[in-house]
Structure 1
Amino acid sequence: MKKKALYITFAISICLAIGFLSSFATQSSVNDWFTTLNKPSFNPPSWLFAPVWTVLYIMMGVAAGIVWAKGLYHLWVKTALYHFGFQLLLNAAWSIVFFGLKEPLWALFVIIALVIVLSLTIKWFKVVSKTAAWLLVPYLLWVCFATVLNYKLWELN
């Protein structure tokens, strides 16, 4: 149990660090460029994003920690964590492309890739731990919503 808690704590820390680093790209344009964009009626208020992402990063970390604690010597664990790492990189890349580079169309391609890789991650997590897989479902739903939002922001601008 102690080992599992250590893996979960470390995985949460990694996820939160990625989120924190991604926020630098976001903050660089959220208060200027982003405010000038035409937004769809379902665009959430800006204050909602930080708490939602914090909860999602924590859930992602718990899920990854549960899988990791099963042992890296298992091929399924390695495969699941490779997918997890790749989706985490795509997650960070989206912020950089959308907010840092101010390229909603290219960000749309990144987020579509994220949805695909995240879906595969959930599939592999389910092989290792159903609980870990379910912990990623809210994240997938949020990213699907963000994909529609990204598309509408590109379309309107």
Structure 2
Amino acid sequence: MTRYLALPLFLLLTVGGGGLIGMTVETGGWYAALQKPSFNPPDWVFAPVWGTLYILIGIAGWRVWRRGLRTLQKLWWLQLVLNFAWPPVFFAAHMLGAALGVILVLDFAVAAFVVAAWRIERVSALLFLPYLAWIAYATLLNAALWQLN
């Protein structure tokens, strides 16, 4: 596979996969009825934030694949699996405690990627920093929702 064909495939995987999960997992009625913490963002924030993050995640995945960085590739795939697993656990199964467990492991995987990439693939590490900040916030939100409900 050429390096220029691979980038659109990585973006299709991340943006398309995230979008597909977002469209197939019902977030409306059940989530709307939950008691929310004061720092819960408005619903319209999630789509543009995740759309942007999935682009950054895809580019970072492409960069570590292109350079053949096996350890980073494994961490990248681990975070993607956990990222795609969280919405069905939280929204479809309504298992806020289990979802908190998933997102805590996701936090660790993303942080491990940033640390491991920092010296050898700094651009990919930097691309993951907004993602790390957002999922740290999402972890606090998940914990607060679990506690309140």
- Say yes or no: TM over 0.5: yes
What is the correspondence of 1:121-140 to structure 2 with a 5 Å cutoff?
A: 121-140=113-132
Residue 97 of structure 1 corresponds to which residue in structure 2? 89
Q: What TM-score do you get using the length of structure 1 for normalisation?
A: 0.89
Q: May I ask how many residue pairs the two structures share in their alignment?
A: 148
Shift of 1:13: 1.2
Supply the AA of the counterpart residue of 1:23: G
Partner of 2:51: 54
Shift of 1:127: 4.0
State the Cα distance separating 1:70 from its structure 2 match: 1.1
Where does 1:1-157 land on structure 2 (aligned, <5 Å)? Answer: 3-26=2-25, 28=26, 30-71=27-68, 77-157=69-149
3-state SS of 1:118 partner: helix
Q: What are the superposed Cα offsets for residues 115-154 of structure 1, whole Å, 9 maximum, x if unpaired?
A: 0011111222224310111000000000000000000001
Q: Determine if contact 1:67/1:128 at 8 Å carries over to the other structure.
A: no
Q: Deviation at 1:21?
A: 2.7
CA distance in 2, matches of 1:145, 1:43: 10
| Aligned-residue offset at 1:25 | 4.7
SS of the equivalent of 2:41 reads coil
| Displacement of 1:79 | 1.1
Cα pair 1:12 1:58 within 8 Å, conserved? yes
Give 1:5 deviation, angstroms. Answer: 3.5
115-124 or 4-13: bigger deviation: 4-13
Shift of the 128–9 alpha-carbon distance from structure 1 to 2, 3 Å rule, reads: farther
* In 2: Cα distance, 1:149 partner to 1:99 partner: 14
Contact 1:40 1:149 in 2 (8 A): yes
What is the CA distance between 1:90 and its match in structure 2? Answer: 0.5
Q: Structure 2: any 5+ residue segments left out of the alignment? A: none
